[in-house]
Amino acid sequence: MNKKSLSERDVCAKFITPSLVAAGWDLDTQIREEVGFTDGRIYVRGKIHARGAKKRVDHILYYKPNIPLAIIEAKDNNHTVGAGMQQALGYAKPLDVPFVFSSNGDAFLFHDKTVKSGPIETEIPLNAFPSPEQLWQKYKAFKGITDEVEAIVAQDYFTDGSNRSPRYYQQIAINRTVEAIACNEGNNRHLLVMATGTGKTYTAFQIIYRLWKSGVKKRILFLADRTSLIDQTVRGDFRHFKDAMTVIKHKQIDTAYNIYLALYQGLSDNNDADAYKQFSPEFFDLIIVDECHRGSAREDSKWREILEYFKGATHIGLTATPKETKEISSSEYFGDPLYTYSLKQGIEDGFLAPYKVVKVTLDIDADTGGFLRAAIDYIREKEVRTLDDEAILQKSITGWELKPVSYVLGLTNLILHGLDVPDWHYLDSLKTEYNSIGPKQQVECILANPPFGAGIADGVETNFPTSFRCRESADLFVILMIHLLKPGGRCAIVLPDGCITSDGYKERIREKLLTDCNLHTIIRLPQSTFLPATVSTNLLFFQKGTPTKEIWYWEHHLPEGQKSYSKTKAIQFDEFAPLIEWWDKREENEVAWKVKVEDLKKGFDLDLKNPHREEEEASFSTSEIIEKLLTSFDRSRDLIH
C-alpha cells in the first residue's frame, strides 16, 4: 500500500481509528469522528444571509459521553507527524481539552497540557496510543479529582433518547461546575456567564441532574425574578424532573420534593412573613440563581437575605451580564466566573445571529405610545431573530410624554407590548437642556408627533439658539429633533402647514432643516386626519448629515367615497399601501411630484400643492356642515379650558 496516495480520511480509517480501538477506546461511545463543534458564523447583507464554515475536529475522544479528554488532528501522509498540531491546539483551547494529538498515519505527536516538568510533546508509535484509563488518570490528577469524588465527576448526563447533546460551551460549563462542586476546596459560590440565547437553563438542568443523581445534592432550589422565566423553565428541560419537582406558589411550602422552583417575590416580602423561613436553613444544599445580576448581586437586597439564610448550600449564579458597580457586584458574591461564553463568541460560532443596533426614540408628545408600539412590532418582525436581538430591542426604545394620563397609558401599552422595563419618561421635552445634548444623548431614529399650537412653559424658548426662539411648540420641536439626531440619523415627524410656510423665525428653521438634513419626502395629509383638530398636516421624513437637494411630495387621498376622517372612520394603515409600493421606485404620477431646492419660493416655502391636480371646490351637505361646526366648537372649548 502506498501511504502517500491515501487521502486524509483514508489515513484516519486505515491507521488512526484502528490504533485507537486497539488501545481500548470504544468506537461507539468514546470515539467521535469529524465532529463539527460550531454552526458557522452567520453573515447578513441586506435581506440575504449565509453561513461560514463550521469548525471541525477529526477525532474527539471521550472517557464517557460529554466528558472529552483528547482531540486528534489528522493529515495525509505527505505531511509530517506533527503537521496538524497547531491546528489541533487551536481547537483544544475552546474545547477545554488537555490532551492533543497530531498524526499522519505513521505515528502520533502527543501534546500533554498537564505536564508540569519535562517535555510537553512526545512522539509515540501507532501501537502505543494511551488507553482511556491512562488518560483518565492523568486528567484526574490534573484536575485534582480524588477517588472519593470520581463518581460525582463521572456521573452521566441526562438523555431522553433524542440524541440531543450539549453544545461544546454548555458541556464545558456543566463539567467545570460539577468538578468544582465535587472537589469543593472550601468554595460554595460559583458564577457562570453565558450570553442570552445560549442555553443557560439547559446548562442548569444538566448540572442539577448530575449532582442530584450522584447523590451529592439532594434538595435544590432554582430562583428567578420573573414568572415567565419560571414558566419557561418548567415547560422546558426541567419537565424531565417530573414528580420530583414543584413550583412554590402563594407562599405554600411542601417539603416532600427534591427540586423547587420559586420567584424571589414568592419567598420573601417586606413583612415578617417570609415564606423561605418555613424551610430550615439546612434544607437546601444547592441553590441556582437565574439572572443573578438583577437582584442577588446587591448586598442590601431582600433577595440576598434568602441566600444568606441558606448560606450552607452551594450557590450558583447564572447571568449574561454580570454587574460591577460601587453598589452591586456579581463577582464579589459569587467569585470570578468558572466559565464565560460571550455574545461575541456566540456570534463568531454561529449559535447567535449578528445584530444591528437600532435606537428608536419618540421624544415628544408620545401620547399613549402609538408610534413606539408600531416601531416595536416592525423591528420584532424584521430584525429580531434571537433572544439577543430582543435584548437589544428592549434597550433601544425611549419615550417622553408630558400629559399624566397619556404617560400612564403609554407605559402600560409598552409593557403589554413586551418591554420588561420601558425607558419611558414623564417630562417636558422642550425643557431638555439644548446645549447639553452631545453624542451620548443623540439617537439614530426619531418618531415624533408634537403638539400643534400648544402653549409652552415660561422661559422655555430661551433654551434654544436666539435665531430660532419662539412660542410655537411644533417649531421648537423641529430644532430639537435636528439636534437630537446623530449624523446619519433619521426622523419622521408630523407637522402642520403653519410650520412649512410663513417667514421670520419659521423661515430660519426651515433653512436649517434643509441645510443640515436631507428632507427627502413630505406626505401631505387630508385636513381631517387628526380630527377633532382641523389643521392641515404633513409627514416629514429627513436624514441628518447632508443638505437637501430635492424633495419628493406625496398627496394622500381619502378612501373612495369617504369625504373626511372621523373618530369612527380614522385613517388606516392599509391606505398607505400605494405609498409603500412607490417608496423605493419613485416616479412622478398624479399624486407624486419632485421639487428641487433651488426652485423653492423665497423663504424656503414647503407648502406646495399638487401640480398634477386642479383645485376642486369642496361641497358638503347640511348635516356635514353642522357636524364640522360642532367639532370646531368642541375644539375651541378644549383650547379655552
Domains recognised in the chain with CATH numbers: 3-143 (3.90.1570.30), 150-349 (3.40.50.300), 428-640 (3.40.50.150)
For 105, how many CA atoms within 13 A lie in the half-sphere containing its CB? 20
Q: What is the mean pLDDT of residues 63-92?
A: 96
pLDDT at 197 > cutoff 70 = yes
Say if CB 75 and CB 84 are below 8 A apart: yes
Rounded to an integer, what distance in angstroms lies between the CA atom of residue 80 and that of residue 272? Answer: 73
pLDDT at 413: 81
Angle, in degrees to the nearest 10, between helices 200-213 and 168-183: 40
pLDDT at 628 > cutoff 90 = no
Grid cell 353642522 in the structure block, residue: 626
pLDDT at 427 > cutoff 50 = yes
**Share above pLDDT 70 across residues of the chain, in percent, rounded to a whole number:** 88
Lowest-confidence segment of 145-149, 200-204, 231-235, 381-385 by average pLDDT:
381-385
Global pTM?
Answer: 0.59
Q: Is 193 helix (H, G, I), strand (E, B) or coil?
A: strand
pLDDT at 362: 41
Amino acid occupying residue 609: K
Q: What is the 3-state secondary structure (H, E, C) of 87-139?
A: HHHHHHHHHCCCEEEEECCCEEEEEECCCCCCCCEEEEEHHHCCCHHHHHHHH
Say if CB 70 and CB 101 are below 8 A apart: yes
Say if CB 397 and CB 372 are below 8 A apart: yes
168-178 pLDDT per residue, tens: 999 999 999 99
pLDDT at 108: 97
Q: What is the DSSP letter of 12?
A: I
Residues in the chain: 641
pLDDT at 224 > cutoff 50 = yes
Q: What is the mean pLDDT of residues 270-297?
A: 81
Rounded to an integer, what distance in angstroms lies between the CA atom of residue 349 and that of residue 197? Answer: 13
pLDDT at 363 > cutoff 50 = no
Q: What is the mean pLDDT of residues 189-197?
A: 92
Rounded to an integer, what distance in angstroms lies between the CA atom of residue 10 and that of residue 636? Answer: 89
Nearest to 556 by CA among 581, 535, 568, 538: 538
| Residues contacting residue 273 through CB under 8 Å, at least 6 positions apart | 251
Give me Rg for the CA atoms of the chain.
Answer: 33
581-609 pLDDT per residue, tens: 999 999 999 999 999 999 887 789 999 99
Beta strands 48-51 and 42-45 are antiparallel
99-121 pLDDT per residue, tens: 999 999 999 999 999 998 889 99
Rounded to an integer, what distance in angstroms lies between the CA atom of residue 490 and that of residue 283? Answer: 57
Rounded to an integer, what distance in angstroms lies between the CA atom of residue 155 and that of residue 159? Answer: 12
**Does residue 532 have a cis bond before it (omega within 30 degrees)?**
yes
Beta strands 537-544 and 485-496 are antiparallel
What are the angstrom distances between the C-alpha of 535 and each of 187, 495, 519, 571, 635? Answer: 70, 10, 22, 15, 11
